[in-house]
Amino acid sequence: MNMICQTTIARSTAISGIGLHTGQRINMTLRPAEAGTGIVFHRKIGERTVTIEATSANVVDTQMATVIGKGDVRVSTVEHLLSALAAYGVDNLHIDIDGPEVPIMDGSAAPFASIIEEAGQRRHHQSRKFLAIRKPVSVIDGEKRVSIIPSRFFRITFDIAFQHPCIALQQRSVKVSSSVFRRDLAPARTFGFLRDVESLKAAGLALGGSLENAIVVDDERILNPEGLRFQDEFVRHKILDAIGDLSLIGYPILGHVRAFKAGHDINHQLVEKLLDTPESWQLLEFSEADVEKALQMAPQAFASDLAFSKG
């Protein structure tokens, strides 16, 4: 949702589900927040509540999922929820959670998209800041590559390559919007290989993983009896993950991301490199008059001029 006003949800909403790694039942409540709050998790541990802002500075692990934390308190697997919030343009939100990870639900972002739609959105009378890419930035880690170049919109082009007959080479390019996200990306599920799932469970991880919340493949076939939701569901999910990971930069992005074999680790490296090279981007903010004008007009009317109308 490309709007120049900050937003939050219109009313509180709740969702519950199993944690992918702990197998625990986890309850989560999304609450409206004032302008300038950002996305904030409130992890409840007994009588104590620890507040963790969803920003790159609080990322503590990217091996199995994107994990944010403060001290010894963590919230894992935040990327699917953050992806939905970014795609729908939700800037400010309080998230109360009573477990160590965001519930995996069905392995996709569709349940989160649904609760955002059900909660509705409320616009603040305060402008958003957009991070507009001015110079290309790249990160290379072995075969993994990710870069971002200037663009008037937020676009992701992603390539994956697996030596597996059900995956092989897949590529997709998406101009990110709430409608495209809901239709083409949100339903795409996370995936894993049977051999890895077995070893993870032996190590006490992925205890909540099942065919109900992930695509699982053995050496030759997809084990889920219902099959795939999209022929290229694997690369669609990678794009979904990238949207969530990149949202941790703290601003909606105007740029074209190009990724090859990328994952949470290198996505985070790109965010860190961007923050370390402020000459490669510019923050765009609109005046109060622009905001008032936007409130009287359809957001689409501003979409084509959004990136460069302020310089």
What residues act catalytically?
264
What's 152's DSSP letter?
S
Alpha carbon distance 88, 177 (integer Å): 7
- E-strand stretches of 150-295: 154-161, 169-175, 191-193, 215-217, 253-260, 281-285
What's 226's DSSP letter?
T
Cα angle vertex 155, ends 286, 57, to 5°?
70
177: nearest Cα among 87, 92, 78, 286: 87
308: nearest Cα among 86, 132, 66: 132
128: nearest Cα among 251, 244, 261: 251
* Other beta carbons within 10 Å of 255: 26
Alpha carbon distance 180, 210 (integer Å): 28
